[in-house]
């Protein structure tokens, strides 16, 4: 059965909303506005999507461009929402064995400069390839790799740096 354009687009709404929500630091109304703008733009430019193509990548590119051009400039950075209230996984007492400092890691991610944060989230949270991430963010792949490396080093330093230096890292 031929699927309509919106049906095709619709399957990507959950991950677009997730990306927008993290990008906008958990400001849910703004995140959903961003997704809605993205969907409307995609539907109005449907003829521009080249089939068979990477629809998900195309949608993320549209969302990225709206964010960079309109949203990021307009949004005075809101206070970071108390993350524990927001994500069920955070409420679970940390398991010593998995030694993941969820709070530190997510807080550090939210402190990253936008380009590094976007790159890290597109690759790890959304599973885009390095090539796709380069297309979405409109930069060469070398830039993707260096942003990824710098993003991870900053998060690592913020999350593990002190405990490692003082020898208290849980293993």
Positions in the binding site for other proteins (CB under 8 A): 1-7, 9-11, 13-15, 17-18, 21-22, 32, 35-36, 39-40, 43, 83, 87-90, 95, 98-102, 105-106, 109, 120-121, 123-125, 129-130, 145, 148-149, 152, 155-156, 159-160
Smallest gap from Cβ 8 to other proteins, in A, equals 10
Sequence-distant (6+) residues with CB within 8 A of 67 are: 20, 23, 34
Q: Is the omega angle on the peptide bond into residue 148 within 30 degrees of 0, that is, cis?
A: no
What is the distance between the alpha carbons of residues 21 and 2, in angstroms, rounded to a whole number? 31
Which of 67, 81, 66, 157 lies closest to 112 in space, CA to CA?
157
- Which is nearer to other proteins, 65 or 146 (by Cβ)? 146
Q: What minimum distance in Å lies between the beta carbon of 103 and other proteins?
A: 9
Shortest distance in whole angstroms from residue 50 CB to other proteins? 19
CB nearer other proteins, residue 73 or residue 140: 140
Q: How far is the CB of 30 from other proteins (least distance, A)?
A: 14
Q: At what angle do helices 55-66 and 28-44 cross, to 10 degrees?
A: 120
E-state strands within 92-165: none
């Amino acid at each position: 059965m031929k699927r309509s354009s919106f049906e095709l687009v619709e399957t990507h709404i959950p991950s677009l909303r997730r990306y927008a929500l993290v990008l906008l630091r958990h400001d849910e109304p703004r995140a959903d506005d961003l997704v809605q703008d993205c969907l409307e733009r995609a539907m109005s430019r449907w003829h521009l999507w080249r089939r068979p193509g990477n629809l998900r990548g195309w949608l993320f590119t549209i969302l990225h461009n709206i964010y960079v051009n309109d949203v990021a400039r307009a949004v005075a950075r809101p206070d970071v929402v108390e993350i524990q209230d927001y994500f069920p996984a955070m409420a679970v007492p940390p398991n010593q064995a998995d030694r993941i400092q969820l709070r530190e890691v997510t807080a550090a991610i939210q402190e990253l400069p936008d380009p590094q944060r976007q790159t890290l989230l597109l690759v790890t949270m959304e599973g885009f390839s390095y090539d796709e991430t380069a297309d979405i963010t409109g930069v060469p792949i070398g830039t993707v790799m260096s942003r990824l490396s710098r993003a991870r080093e900053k998060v690592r330093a913020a999350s593990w740096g002190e405990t490692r230096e003082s020898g208290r890292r849980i293993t």
